Structure 1
Amino acid sequence: MKGKMEKLHNICMVSDFFYPNTGGVESHIYQLSQCLIQRGHKVIVLTHAYSQRNGIRHLTNGLKVYYLPIGPFYNQCVLPTLFTSLPIVRNILIREQISIVHGHSAFSALAHEAMIHAKTMGLKTMFTDHSLFGFADLSSIITNHILQISLADAHHVICVSHTSRENTVLRASLNPSGVSVIPNAVDSSMFTPDPSKRNPRRITIVVISRLVYRKGMDLLAGLMPIICQRHPDVDFLIGGGGPKGLDLEEVREEHQLHDRITLLGPVDHDNVKNVLNQGDIFVNSSLTEAFCIAIVEAACCGLQVVSTRVGGVPEVLPPDLITLADPSVNSLVTSLEEAIQRKRRGQVLDPFAVHNRVKKFYTWPNVAMRTEKIYNQISEEPSFTLSERIERYGSSNTLFLVFFSAVAILNHILYRLLERIFPRKDIDLVPPFPIDVLKTKLTTKAEMYDGPARRTRSKKTESPS
């Protein structure tokens, strides 16, 4: 599959955010896992239960997902309990013979808990930060202290942009040498242009996002009536769910724009391409963004992209493929009107030419290869002892230092207790997934990474969506 491979790893991806929920983190974990499996590694995913989805599910290419019997508490995240998840996480990590635990998203309580348990078990841990945080408000201060403790004894940290790396290094007081930049990627075969779906008599502005404050939904609510009033031939098509959806509905009601603003609600990942291809312009109004994979997907479908100039967004696309605006209603309106005028004058780039450019920028095989190098690196590093872990907490606030030192000690005691009560020799080990099955399905490198074979559904394979 890859030629002679130096090392193979058993990897556990952990996050509160995974399918059937949709979003950038969910897509990142799934696509990265698929490419790592195709490179010969064993990968499982650990997440919480989603409604009726509980227990073990198998996705494409033998990707096993453990939906733990723990429900979300707030914003799709579990309630942090620190200790109650130790028995089941320990059992899974031993059964699957995991050597590296890879947590995703600073918002994920489950990821931080699983990393704490993995460190107690002497496993290697690493973390991918997908978000940007501030430094001044109370929630950011608390989150940054927790992240500082959580990442103090992680073996490596990945950020998705250089701006995100600077932000994470400052927030978590990390040594920059232990933080790498590996951007997100897009599966170009899933986002291809289809201009025939566009309405030639109208200009459609598409928004696909979580409808939450940090995604700039207040800005979107402010600009929509202005654009609709100034440009009678412009419509809005909005996909996504979240609490700010009510605000957008109120704007539509107040200004009587039912025929101009369409709210689709949550959009399945398989349907995102169809929604994007109905539009001419894509708008990202985020107030903070580490990378924003949505604008890459939109550009891959050949849309003009208008985005706020925040976080790592200016790093993502070249200037001729994106129009940047300040995070304000007036600036976004100005940038949108520039894009509208380009569309009317026919000064837009050919969507297929844009697609062929963008698909070369960010590819999952490249992301997997770079991530694999970090796995190889940390596999050679020694695990931290309990005293070394507590010593590494020393740069944190005194209160957090005392609290998490106590957590580490108690977690270590509980782990030793479980080792006596439920010895690992009594835990059945899971045999490896037969890689030869993949070799018969994926015969060429092109099929392996870009073809539809990776997502072929069978009676025994469940689609992530």
Structure 2
Amino acid sequence: MSLNICMISDFFYPNMGGVESHLYHLSQQLIKRGHKVVIVTHAYGDRVGVRYLINGLKVYYLPLLIVYQQASLPTIFFLFPILRYIIIRERIDVVHGHQAFSSLCMEGIFHARTMGIKACFTDHSLFGFADASSILTNKVLKFTLSEIDHVICVSHTSKGNTVLRASLNPQMVSVIPNAVVANHFIPDPSKADPNKITICVVSRLVYRKGMDLLINVIPRICAQHPKVNFIIAGDGPKKIDLEQMKEKYLLHDRVQLVGGVPHSEVKNVLVRGNIFLNTSLTEAFCIGIVEAACSGLLVVSTRVGGVPEVLPNDMIIFAEPEENDLITALNKAITMIKFKEVTPAKFHDRIKNMYSWENIAERTERVYYSIMKTRRIPLIERLRRYYGCGSWAGKLFCIIAAVDYLIFLLLEFLMPRNDIEIAPNFPSEAFLRKQKSNNYY
């Protein structure tokens, strides 16, 4: 049974990151499995309106106001008319939201449930419980997921975190990890300098990614190992601090900052290295370490979040998120590289068999089929669930849900479904057959 699926999130290309990559590759595999996929995100610069990507993947770039790190301004009700139009025009069966940080995702799921559309949610991050930002985000998440059909997390650690934050039944939460296109990350030892040991860092240069740790670690490693260099790819507010560190310790010829790179160019950075360093303070999965291992790099990473679930122990060296422990782990990794204890080709072959988007799409498809069998929740049951979200928040959520339902009825009257033109389907099957015949795969 083919389905019409709407992926919705603030985070998509041309922005770069794990969520963006996940949406794109999952959508492509679902299209290959015979489903129709459209993506709804906010506009990026002059990229506004409807765009088609390869294999007929359709993307709606909505003109929304951005408030912080590519997250759009919450509108509560103002998104509903255009989202309803898209759902009806594309004949959507399932709305699949991604990332708790995304207000567009939260609103999309909420409005879809008001329309009676099946909805699921994938959480890509870990959150705390004490600071003001986490408390607010967790309350909104609990509200949104009160009547969700199913939730997907990218690791078992992420599942436990999401279950606690949103007060979910663990049985309605599945663990489906990220994956990697192994053919895009083939080791190439000829690219690495045989006289040097190169440590690669590919990350957003922000506090959460442990950039303060990195800034303290680099000078110490360079002082201990004259033949060790660093390549750092990424952009963010901590880039200035990294530049200052280079100036202070005169490491211009040892530390290269290449800036933000497109995801298609990440492999060209990784194949130049021998060791991949991840200093994150929190991670639900970390697709970067999978890509690095697939490229044949030995991984050194902080033992945080879901990272210990990702790679076998002989492919990764763990450290606590503390400066001295990272130095110890890096020294061990440098010794292993010196004595040639790492075989890049074997790393690549193992990762290729462990993580594939074909498998991830198949497992996600099973989730879709399972939620299509669930019953539609009546309005009174929706209000009861919202009421249980808190003594004062529950009442507020009930009012929001009731107003949203009244807006839905008004839209049905002002813009009848029959007046909305149904979008023709992209001839995906014929297009895929043509690509295969031309040996594109």
TM-score of Structure 1 vs Structure 2, range by shorter chain: over 0.9
Matched, 1:77 2:77: no
250-259 or 204-213: bigger deviation:
250-259
Matched residues in 1 for 2:17 and 2:241: separation? 21
Q: Which segments of structure 1 move beyond 6 Å, counting only runs of 4 or more?
A: none
The answer for unaligned runs of 5 or more in structure 1 is 1-6, 454-465
1:406 Cα deviation from its structure 2 partner: 1.5
For 2:261, give the aligned amino acid.
V
Describe the SS at the equivalent of 1:250: helix
Count of residue pairs brought into register by the alignment:
441
For 2:169, give the aligned amino acid.
N
Matched residues in 2 for 1:114 and 1:180: separation? 21
Matched residues in 2 for 1:95 and 1:442: separation? 28
Partner of 2:18: 24
For 2:244, give the aligned amino acid.
E
Give the TM-score of the pair, scaled to structure 1. Answer: 0.93
Matched residues in 1 for 2:195 and 2:121: separation? 48
Residues 378-413 of structure 1 deviation map (CA, whole Å, 9 limit, x = unaligned): 001122222211211243222321222211111111
For 1:400, give the aligned amino acid.
A
Contact 2:387 2:395 (C-alpha < 8 Å) held by counterparts: no
Partner of 2:349: 356
1:226 aligns with one of 195, 220, 226: 220
Matched residues in 2 for 1:394 and 1:95: separation? 33
The answer for unaligned runs of 5 or more in structure 2 is none
Alignment of 1:319-338 (within 5 A): 319-338=313-332
Matched residues in 2 for 1:261 and 1:171: separation? 40
Contact 1:50 1:71 (C-alpha < 8 Å) held by counterparts: no
Partner of 1:372: 365
Give the TM-score of the pair, scaled to structure 2. Answer: 0.98
Partner of 1:463: none
Matched residues in 1 for 2:402 and 2:386: separation? 13
Partner of 1:237: 231
Change (3 A) 1:71 1:190: farther
Partner of 1:207: 201
1:174 aligns with one of 153, 168, 171: 168
2:61 aligns with one of 45, 55, 67: 67
Contact 1:227 1:333 (C-alpha < 8 Å) held by counterparts: yes
1:284 Cα deviation from its structure 2 partner: 0.7
Matched residues in 2 for 1:327 and 1:452: separation? 43
1:443 Cα deviation from its structure 2 partner: 4.4
Contact 1:38 1:438 (C-alpha < 8 Å) held by counterparts: no
2:423 aligns with one of 430, 442, 457: 430
For 2:428, give the aligned amino acid.
I
Contact 1:32 1:367 (C-alpha < 8 Å) held by counterparts: yes
Contact 1:48 1:68 (C-alpha < 8 Å) held by counterparts: yes
Partner of 2:27: 33
Matched, 1:284 2:271: no
Matched, 1:414 2:414: no
Contact 1:206 1:276 (C-alpha < 8 Å) held by counterparts: yes
State percent identity of aligned pairs.
56
Contact 2:7 2:98 (C-alpha < 8 Å) held by counterparts: yes
1:365 Cα deviation from its structure 2 partner: 0.7
Contact 2:34 2:429 (C-alpha < 8 Å) held by counterparts: no
1:363 Cα deviation from its structure 2 partner: 0.7
Residues 304-338 of structure 1 deviation map (CA, whole Å, 9 limit, x = unaligned): 10000011111100000000110111111110111
